[in-house]
Amino acid sequence: MVWVYHPEAVRALRHLPARLTCYDCVDDWATFPQYAARRAEIVALEESLARRADLLFVTAPKLFAAKRALNPHTHLVPNVGDYDHFARAMDPATPLPDDVADLARPIVGFVGTLDDYKVNVDWVARLARAHPHWSLLLIGPGGVAGESSRVDLTALPNVHALGYRPYADLPAYLKACAVCIIPYRLSDHTAGVFPIKFFEMLATGRPVVATALPALQPYAGVARLAHTAEEFVRQVEKGVAEGPVAGRYQRLAVARRHTWEHRVDQLESLVRQRLEEMAR
C-alpha cells in the first residue's frame, strides 16, 4: 500500500507498485502562499494524483467537492484530536506552567502555528484592545510580529506570545485558559481547512470560539463561530461570561467521537472495502 499526502508525490508513484494507492488530502495545497508562483503546476499534479489514486480521503467539505468530481472513491474524513491527552486540562493534578501562573485572568488562549496568512492577527489585536485587563496567550512557532504580519501583537502589553512549547505540555497551558480560540482568516485557503486543534480544544472542556470556517459549520452547537472581528469579540466575551461548565458535556461528547482511535477504525474499514472491490 502506498499512502501519500502531497501532490508532488504523484511523480514517484510509477516507481512504487502497490496493491492500493491512497491520497490523503489534508489541505488545499494550491492555495498555500509558497506555491503562488507554481499554482497551475500544483493543480495539475494534484488532479493527476486524485485521478490515479485507488482511494482518496479529504478533511474538509470544499476538498470533498473538488476531489469527488475527479474520483468517485473519495471520502470526507475530518481531522481528529487526542482526547485523553488534552482532557488532562481538566485534571486537578495537572500543574499550571510557571510562565502563565501569574498572568492576569481571564486568559484567552490559542495553540498553533502563528502564520499570518492563516491566523487573523487583526481579530486577536481587536480582542486584546477591547479587554486590556485580560491576557491573550499565544502558543506556537512562527513570528506574528515580523515583516509578514499586518499587526504587531507584541506591542500590546496583554498579548503573551510564548513561542513553541512541547506537545506534552499543551494541556497544562490550555488549563489556564477560560476560552480557547481559533481566529483564522476567512480566505480561499482556509475554506479548505479543518483545524486539527478544534477537537483538541473541545477535549479540554473549555469554551471554544472559532472563525466560521465551512468545515466547522456542523459543530456550531458546541463552539461559538464568528464571521467578523466584532462578532469574534462578542463570542469570546460570552464564553468568558458563561464559564467552563456551561456546555462542557456536549463539547466533551463530540471530542470523544472524534479521536484517532475511532478515525483509524474508519480508515481501515474503508481501505478493506476498497480492496475487496478491486479484487472482484
The greatest distance separating any two alpha carbons of the chain, rounded to the nearest whole angstrom, comes to 66
Q: Which residues of 37-74 are buried (b: 16+ CB within 10 A; e: fewer)?
A: eeeeebeebbbebbeebbbbbbbbbbbbebbbebbebb
Residue ranges per structural domain of the chain? 2-79+259-279, 83-257
Q: Report pLDDT for 60.
A: 98
Written as one letter, the residue type at 153 is L
Show the low-confidence residues of the chain (pLDDT under 50).
144-148
Where does 83-257 sit in CATH, by number?
3.40.50.2000
**DSSP run (H or E) holding 248:** helix 248-257
pLDDT at position 260: 95
CA distance 195 to 60: 10
| pLDDT score recorded for residue 154 | 80
| pLDDT value for 257 | 96
pLDDT at 144: 39
Tell me how crowded residue 30 is: count the other CB atoms within 10 A of its CB: 22
What's the pLDDT tens digit per position in 52-89? Answer: 999 999 999 999 999 999 999 999 999 999 999 999 99
What dihedral do alpha carbons 218, 183, 202, 66 form, nearest 10°?
A: 40
| Residue-level pLDDT at 150 | 52
C-alpha cell at 181: 480560540
**What are 126's three cell numbers?**
481587536
Q: What integer pLDDT is reported at residue 151 of this predicted model?
A: 64
At residue 205, the pLDDT reads: 98
